[in-house]
């Protein structure tokens, strides 16, 4: 049986506003096992982005229990969280978030520069492999402006892969792509999930793509409904 990568029990998240507290997540229960490919859908304001930020250790829960990669998150220091973020989590964003002044290879290598466990002499080999995995091996020295939207997202996926993370969090990864490129990017994520056994959680508005995941979750008003 696969190990549990994410365990959330009775999780609440609320924001303090001048008018009072705004509840966003309410008594949330979630378990994500190693190797799963999961989609989370829901309308704007349902709590999807907040949940993804919590999974990625960019935000804290207000109450409840949360374990990530076996760690009790609420007991971790900010420094410990930063190490886990860099070594165990890869991010893919809707807007790609590539640095325009850097080559594709330089963009992909960025997470390695914050990983003390990997020697700089291995950077080139690791970056080459990551680019090969996403079929961008011939774009090593090009700049983001020289790539199509689909290619830029592939470069962003390669960047998420370089540290061989346990978990990839994808925030609307096909949101800026046409239907054809959206399907290609999703097929790539499925391939990485199948071949590398990387756990992937995708937040998306695209129900057609969401239905192709191994497990689908629907978030409404801070709670899960209609899961499959």
pTM for this prediction: 0.89
pLDDT digits over 91-144, tens only?
998 889 999 999 999 999 999 988 888 888 889 999 999 999 888 999 999 999
State the pLDDT confidence band at 1, using cuts at 50, 70 and 90. very low
Instruction: Indicate the number of domains in the chain.
Output: 1
pLDDT digits over 23-58, tens only?
999 999 999 999 999 999 998 888 999 999 999 999
Please check the confidence at residue 212 and state whether its pLDDT lies above 80.
yes
Whole domain around residue 119: which residue ranges?
A: 4-227
State the CATH number of the domain containing residue 186. Answer: 3.40.50.300
| Average pLDDT across the chain, whole number | 91
What is the C-alpha to C-alpha distance for residues 200 and 167, in angstroms, rounded to an integer? 6
């Amino acid at each position: 049986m696969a190990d549990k990568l994410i365990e959330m029990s009775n999780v609440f998240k609320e924001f303090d506003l001048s008018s009072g507290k705004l509840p966003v997540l309410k008594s949330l229960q979630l378990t994500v096992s190693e190797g799963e490919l999961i989609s989370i859908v829901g309308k704007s304001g349902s709590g999807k982005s907040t949940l993804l930020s919590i999974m990625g250790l960019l935000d804290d829960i207000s109450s409840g229990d949360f374990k990530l990669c076996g760690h009790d998150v609420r007991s971790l220091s900010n420094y410990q969280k930063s190490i886990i973020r860099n070594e165990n989590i890869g991010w893919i964003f809707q807007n790609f978030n590539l640095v325009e002044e850097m080559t594709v290879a330089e963009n992909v290598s960025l997470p390695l520069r914050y990983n003390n466990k990997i020697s700089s002499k291995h950077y080139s080999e690791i970056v080459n492999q990551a680019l090969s995995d996403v079929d961008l091996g011939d774009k090593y020295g090009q700049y983001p402006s020289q790539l199509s939207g689909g290619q830029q997202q592939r470069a962003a996926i390669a960047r998420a892969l370089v540290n061989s993370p346990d978990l990839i969090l994808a925030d609307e990864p096909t949101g800026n792509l046409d239907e054809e490129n959206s399907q290609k990017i999703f097929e790539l994520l499925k391939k990485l999930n199948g071949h590398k056994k990387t756990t992937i959680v995708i937040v998306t508005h695209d129900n057609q793509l969401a239905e192709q995941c191994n497990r689908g979750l629907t978030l409404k008003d801070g709670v899960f409904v209609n899961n499959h």
